[in-house]
């Protein structure tokens, strides 16, 4: 039984008699899933919600207007908060061995919200990558498209696109009784098997392959340009070389962490498509895919927790903003001099936070 592209429930043992004689015995491992993953998800939710709320408060309460990357980052924080708010329901669902206790409405809305975050977040990262590329590589040639009005329009379009792609999940998610396990699970009930394959292909290609290719291309093009600039700066003994090197390291970290979090899950989704189309068959693959997608999805949820750290918290300009916002709540005499006001003027801020000069 396949539940791609969202959280799966373990498959029936009936296929063991019909397919390959080689079959994994994962019963003990599923007990670990029921115990460990809910605790991990709960931890991710607490840390991620605190981090993203802090981001939203900093950007909302600061007196200066948002620049273009901050508009994208604020929308990303909202998407992550929606996602993290829904995760505790799935944690309890897994803890309850996939017996959904919250009714049909929450089954649909939480599943749809989780999928909406997946689409919205990755395309917001594409938008930020495009903005950074034009900022550093084509500064003079594309000023017309680097405007706050355009950024807000792109955010609205991204949300609309994510909602559009999430409609099938809202329509076909339902609480269904499975007599083999004597549970009522929140499952996808598509009209025909072809829907399952089509939805998985859309999720795998549109939701990951295409945008991640764009992210990798744009960021490594920016990295290559910054390295060239750093080399020139070193030859003329300019401090810009050091700034370029720092920006290069951060961009590489952003791409690496994103791929580490999401690639395993989409790899299992791709294998599941092969299983649905009978390119690969057998009980071995069925059980491996059900088990693998659980851990792949759990790893992917970590990205929403790390986003505030990767994109914002280590940024000097953001730290300065946060100090300016929250210093009024800190008792007098508390040392705040650890962050220099000179940090605000550096135009090579942490990726993808945009400097005040661009």
- Mean pLDDT across 8-32: 59
Closest CA to 2 of 295, 212, 181, 270: 270
Give the residue from 94, 89, 95 showing the smallest Cα distance to 112. Answer: 89
pLDDT band at 210 (very low <50, low <70, confident <90, very high): very high
CB 21 within 8 A of CB 82: no
CA torsion sign, 218 to 219 to 223 to 226? positive
pLDDT band at 4 (very low <50, low <70, confident <90, very high): very low
The residues spanned by each domain of the chain are 13-327+335-345
**Is the predicted pLDDT of residue 146 greater than 60, yes or no?**
yes
Report the pLDDT averaged over residues 307-321.
Answer: 71
Name the β-bridge partners of 187. Answer: 174
| Assigned superfamily of 13-327+335-345 | Rhodopsin 7-helix transmembrane proteins (1.20.1070.10)
Predicted structure pTM score: 0.81
pLDDT (tens digit per residue) in 43-59: 999 999 999 998 899 88
Average pLDDT, the chain: 79
Per-residue model confidence (pLDDT) at position 309: 79
Give the per-residue pLDDT at 25.
Answer: 67
Check whether 345 has a pLDDT greater than 70.
Answer: no
């Amino acid at each position: 039984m396949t539940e791609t592209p969202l959280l799966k429930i373990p498959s029936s043992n009936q296929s063991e008699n019909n397919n390959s004689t080689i079959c994994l015995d994962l019963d003990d491992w599923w007990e670990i899933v029921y115990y460990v993953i809910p605790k991990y998800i709960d931890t991710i939710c607490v840390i991620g919600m605190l981090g993203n709320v802090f981001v939203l408060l900093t950007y909302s309460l600061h007196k200066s207007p948002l620049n273009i990357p901050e508009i994208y980052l604020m929308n990303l924080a909202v998407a992550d908060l929606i996602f993290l708010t829904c995760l505790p329901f799935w944690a309890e669902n897994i803890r309850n061995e996939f017996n959904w206790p919250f009714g049909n409405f929450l089954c649909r809305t939480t599943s749809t919200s989780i999928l909406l975050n997946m689409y919205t977040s990755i395309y917001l990262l594409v938008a930020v990558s495009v903005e950074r590329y034009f900022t550093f590589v084509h500064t003079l040639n594309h000023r017309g498209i680097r405007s706050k009005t355009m950024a807000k329009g792109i955010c609205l379009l991204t949300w609309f696109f994510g909602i559009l792609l999430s409609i099938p999940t809202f329509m076909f998610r339902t609480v269904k009784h499975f007599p083999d396990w004597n549970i009522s699970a929140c499952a996808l009930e598509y009209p025909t098997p072809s829907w399952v394959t089509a939805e998985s292909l859309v999720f795998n290609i549109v939701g990951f392959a295409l945008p991640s290719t764009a992210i990798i291309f744009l960021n490594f093009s920016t990295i290559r340009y910054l390295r060239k600039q750093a080399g020139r700066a070193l030859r003329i003994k300019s401090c810009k070389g050091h700034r370029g090197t720092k920006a290069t390291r951060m961009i590489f970290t952003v791409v690496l962490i994103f791929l580490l979090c999401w690639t395993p899950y989409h790899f299992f989704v791709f294998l599941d498509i092969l299983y649905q189309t009978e390119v690969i068959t057998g009980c071995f693959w069925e059980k491996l895919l059900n088990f693998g997608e659980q851990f792949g999805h759990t790893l992917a949820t970590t990205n929403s927790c790390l986003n505030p750290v990767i994109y914002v918290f280590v940024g000097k300009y953001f730290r300065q903003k946060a100090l300016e916002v929250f210093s009024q709540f800190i008792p007098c005499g508390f040392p705040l001099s650890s962050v220099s006001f000179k940090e605000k003027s550096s135009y090579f801020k942490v990726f993808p936070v945009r400097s005040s000069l661009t």
